[in-house]
Amino acid sequence: MVTADLAEPVGCRRRAGTGLRTRGAHAYHDVAVATPMSRAFAPAILAAMALAGTTLRVAAVPAPDDGAAIRVVATTTQCADLARQVCAGIADFGVDGLMHAGVDPHLWRPTVSDVRQLASADAVVCNGLMLEGRMSDVFPKLARRGTRVVELATAIPMDRLIAEGDGHAAADPHVWMDPAIWSSAAQTLAESLATLRPSRAAELRTNADRFAARCEAVARSIERAVATVPARARLMVTAHDAFRYFGRAFGIEVRGVQGISTESQAGLADMRTLADMLIDRAVPAVFVETSVPDRAVAALIESASLRGHPIRIGGALFSDAMGASGTAEECWDGMMLHNARTIVEALGGDASSIAAAPDARPEATP
Q: Do residues 178 and 233 both lie within one domain?
A: no
Instruction: Look at residue 49 and tell me if it is in a domain.
Output: yes
- Residues 139, 153 contacting (CB under 8 angstroms): no
Instruction: Look at residue 365 and tell me if it is in a domain.
Output: no
Interval 72-122: pLDDT, tens: 999 999 999 999 999 999 999 999 999 998 888 888 888 889 989 999 999
Instruction: Look at residue 155 and tell me if it is in a domain.
Output: yes
Burial of 36 (0-12, 13-18, 19+ CB in 10 A): exposed
Residues across the chain: 366
Q: Do residues 187 and 226 both lie within one domain?
A: no
Q: Do residues 29 and 146 both lie within one domain?
A: yes
Q: Do residues 139 and 276 both lie within one domain?
A: no
Q: Do residues 60 and 172 both lie within one domain?
A: yes
Instruction: Look at residue 2 and tell me if it is in a domain.
Output: no
pTM for the complete prediction?
Answer: 0.82
Q: Do residues 197 and 230 both lie within one domain?
A: no
Instruction: Look at residue 34 and tell me if it is in a domain.
Output: yes
Number of domains in the chain: 2
| Cα-based distances in Å from 197 to 92, 95, 112, 119 | 8, 15, 29, 20
Q: Do residues 84 and 227 both lie within one domain?
A: no
Instruction: Look at residue 10 and tell me if it is in a domain.
Output: no
- Report d(CA 346, CA 343) in Å as an integer: 5
pLDDT, residue 62, reads: 55
Q: Do residues 311 and 193 both lie within one domain?
A: no
Instruction: Look at residue 56 and tell me if it is in a domain.
Output: yes
Instruction: Look at residue 4 and tell me if it is in a domain.
Output: no
Q: Residue 66 maps to which CATH number?
A: 3.40.50.1980
pLDDT, residue 164, reads: 74
Q: Do residues 173 and 55 both lie within one domain?
A: yes
Domain termination residue (choose one: 217, 247, 272): 217
Q: Do residues 208 and 234 both lie within one domain?
A: no
User: Which residue segment(s) compose the domain that 179 sits in?
Assistant: 23-217
Per-residue tens of pLDDT for the chain, all 366 residues: 444 555 556 666 544 433 322 223 322 233 333 344 444 445 555 555 554 444 444 334 555 566 789 999 999 999 999 999 999 999 999 999 999 988 888 888 888 899 899 999 999 999 999 999 878 888 988 999 899 999 999 999 999 999 875 544 579 999 999 999 999 999 999 999 999 999 999 999 999 999 999 999 999 999 999 999 999 999 999 887 899 999 999 999 998 886 544 444 555 667 788 888 888 888 888 998 886 777 888 888 888 888 888 888 999 999 999 999 999 999 999 999 999 999 999 999 999 989 765 543 434 444
Q: Do residues 317 and 232 both lie within one domain?
A: yes
